[in-house]
Every structure is written in C-alpha cells, then in structure tokens.
Amino acid sequence: MKQTTKDSAPVLLVGPVLPYRGGIAQHTTMLHRAMREMTDLRTISFSRQYPAWLFPGESDRDPAYEGHRETGVEYLIDSVDPRTWRKAMASIIAHPPRQVIIPWWTIFWTPCFGYLSKRLRAHGIDVIFFCHNVIEHESAAWKQWLTRQVLKNGTRFVVHTQEDATNLRRFLPDAEVAVQPHPIYDQFPTARGKLPRRRALELLFYGFVRPYKGLDILIEAMRVLRRQDVQLTIAGEFWEDEAPVRERITRLGLEDRIELRPHYHTEEETAELFARADVVILPYRSATGSGVVPIAYHYEKPVIVTRVGGLPDVVRDGKTGFIVPPNDPHALADKIGTLTAEMCHDMRPQIRDLKRSLTWERLAEVLLNR
C-alpha cells in the first residue's frame, strides 16, 4: 500500500458499510479502509439502512457478514428516524471534522442527507458529495428536483464518469467537480474453481436485475446468435418479477444455453462465477457507471458494454473489452460470435495494465483534495 502521512485535522465519512450489501456498501467499505491509512478518519454508518418494506431484495444485509462490525465505524443513523440524525449531528459538532464525505445515489436519502448536509454547512464544515448517480436510473423530473435540493449543499463533488460530471453541472453550473474512475474491487477472494465449464464460450450477466440493465436484449442476442457453443449465466437478485424472464427463456428454447441464478451471491460465489466466465456482459440501456466492470477487471476478465453513460470510459475497446451500440441485440450477438475463450484470456495483460491506475488510494486522494 502507498505510504502517506496522515492529516492532522479529522475527516468524517458517512455511508453504508459491511454488513450491508450491494455496490454502494462495498464502495464505502473499501473507501473507508483506504482512507483510514491516509487521514484521521471517523466513519458513521447506519443502524438501519432501509426499512424492510422498501428494500426489494431478500435483505439489505450480506448473510456472509452476519454480526460483522467494520473496524472504526459507528453504526448510528436510522434512515427513517430523525431523532438519530439529530443525535449523529450533535456528535459530529462536538468533535467537528474539517470535511464530511457523503455518498449520493438515490432520492430515498433526501430527508436524512439533506438535513445533515444543510446543518454541516451552517456550522462552516465542508461537505463533499461522492455521486454514484447524479440522476437516478429510470429518473423523473421530481426526483431530479429533490436531488438538486440536497446537492446544492455540497462544497465540492467527486464522480466516477464524465457523464455524471455533465449531469451535475446541469443542476449546479458552478460546481467544483473532480472525475476519478471507479477503483477495482480487489477484496473479492480467489476462486477455487468449483464451477465446471459447460461450453466453449462462457458468458456472465451479474448483479441486480433492473429494467435499465437490458437483460432482455442479451436474451434476444442469445436467440439470434448463430453459434450453439455459448453458455450464458444470469446471476443476480431480481428487482422485478422474474417469471417473465423464465417464460421467455423457455419460449425461445434457450433453457439449455441460459442458466438462471436469481438470488444474491456472496463474495465466494461471485469469485466462482467470474472465474468460470470468459467475458462479462453489460447490455445496459442507460448507465452512468457500473461496479460490475471493476469486479470483472479484478478477475482479469474482459467486458462487453454498451455505448451509454460512463461505461465506455473504462473500456479500452479491443484491449480490455468491447463496446457495442445499445438496444441492438444483433450487434451484441455479432460481437459475441467473434469471440473465443483463448481471445478473452489473451486480453489479461492489458486488463492488468489498466488496473494499476484504478486504486482506492487514488480515489481517497481526490476526495481529500490532495
């Protein structure tokens, strides 16, 4: 790890960390671990992140981390109990930091983060918003209005993509914005090789299944694909009804070429899925960025992404992956049809080279304004 001198003034990080699950919690956890080595850091997380009725998955906690408490983290904030926001704020003001870093990804956090950021600024404390999504997927005008009400309290901003920087400046034209690509998720374990290969080319679609991610486009690409030696694994918890997907796979006669794993996957299960895959597919209709690409790169697997949002920013076309037009199953099928497992394996040195610039330490430096 890069050796750095810790700053004398404290920094506060607010956000979900383990045992909460999902990309935002993984991101905040890794950032917390990197920043602890670089500065006097205090991290406040949640005693409750989402009420059970609101979270569409089985649970917002990772079953593999049951009972886990991340070192150096205080679990203070209940997302739907303003009394805990006030207590957290009083605790912060009692030992004021020089800056507070708050992630932003959904308007659910408008009341809580709006309250905290406004009070922090009133006390003369800088607020740095790390924006995973400036504009939510499948967003509406009222959501964008709420987003602006919170983000206008920010002193400065950090995003992963130029697309999000552009979106942010639409809300706040004079905003100070830094862009730093998503670091590699290097906390995932080494695979043990438990999953056997089924066909000559193994494809993986991974992560929560939501309409904007274009799974239906990938299934259609499998239908028009002329090759029969390609196997697709769909691994992720559905945030929509999975029955139509199953029915479509059956109707198209693709049951033997598409494996459906419709549930949340632990780090160990994720390792096995990525280890078996030759290429990871992100057929998104829209996106700012994605945490799936950093996982793929961690396992030195190339990706196929669509030309939307910030996805092309982190893919060297033909070297670390491939870029295809969105909403075009034929173009996606054509690209898949040109690949072999050997070709994908031969891209590993170029993926390894790109990984060197995508570190959590560098992201922490940008947030600390070094």
Asked whether residue 367 is domain-assigned, the answer is no
Please give the Cα distance from 194 to 98 (Å, whole number). Answer: 48
**Predicted pLDDT of residue 369:** 86
One domain, residues 172 and 104? yes
One domain, residues 36 and 166? yes
Domain with residue 77: its CATH number is 3.40.50.11930
Q: For every one of its 370 residues, what pLDDT tens digit does the chain have, with 9 covering 90 and above?
A: 444 445 556 999 999 999 998 889 999 999 999 999 999 999 999 999 988 776 666 678 988 898 899 999 999 999 999 999 999 999 999 999 999 999 999 999 999 999 999 999 999 999 999 999 887 755 678 888 999 999 999 999 999 999 899 999 988 999 999 999 999 999 999 999 999 999 999 999 999 899 999 999 999 999 999 899 999 999 999 988 899 999 999 999 999 999 999 998 999 999 999 999 999 999 999 887 789 999 999 999 999 999 998 899 999 999 999 999 999 999 999 999 999 999 999 999 999 999 998 999 999 999 998 7
One domain, residues 208 and 172? no
Asked whether residue 186 is domain-assigned, the answer is no
Asked whether residue 311 is domain-assigned, the answer is yes
Asked whether residue 17 is domain-assigned, the answer is yes
Instruction: Give the chain's radius of gyration (CA, Å).
Output: 21
**Predicted pLDDT of residue 137:** 59
Q: Which amino acid type is present at position 72?
A: G
One domain, residues 318 and 258? yes
Please give the Cα distance from 326 to 94 (Å, whole number). Answer: 51
Last residue of a domain, one of 146, 179, 212: 179
CB 233 within 8 A of CB 203: yes
One domain, residues 104 and 155? yes
**Predicted pLDDT of residue 183:** 95
One domain, residues 296 and 329? yes
**Predicted pLDDT of residue 2:** 43
One domain, residues 140 and 255? no
Of the candidates 298, 293, 299, 320, the one whose C-alpha atom is nearest the C-alpha of residue 182 is 293
One domain, residues 208 and 72? no
Which structural domain range is residue 326 located in? 201-355
Number of domains in the chain: 2
Please give the Cα distance from 148 to 170 (Å, whole number). Answer: 10
One domain, residues 25 and 142? yes
Q: Which of helix, strand or coil describes residue 78?
A: strand
Asked whether residue 195 is domain-assigned, the answer is no
Asked whether residue 332 is domain-assigned, the answer is yes
- At residue 11, φ and ψ (nearest 5 deg) are -125, 145
One domain, residues 50 and 141? yes
**Predicted pLDDT of residue 56:** 63
One domain, residues 32 and 162? yes
Domain with residue 235: its CATH number is 3.40.50.2000
Asked whether residue 337 is domain-assigned, the answer is yes
pTM score: 0.87
**How many C-beta neighbours within 10 Å does residue 317 have?**
12
Last residue of a domain, one of 179, 213, 229: 179
Last residue of a domain, one of 114, 147, 179: 179
Instruction: For 184-231, write each residue's pLDDT tens digit.
Output: 999 999 999 999 999 999 999 999 899 999 999 999 999 999 899 999
Asked whether residue 365 is domain-assigned, the answer is no
**Predicted pLDDT of residue 139:** 64
Instruction: For 49-71, write each residue's pLDDT tens digit.
Output: 988 776 666 678 988 898 899 99
One domain, residues 22 and 130? yes
Residue 287 burial (10 A CB sphere; 0-12, 13-18, 19+)? buried
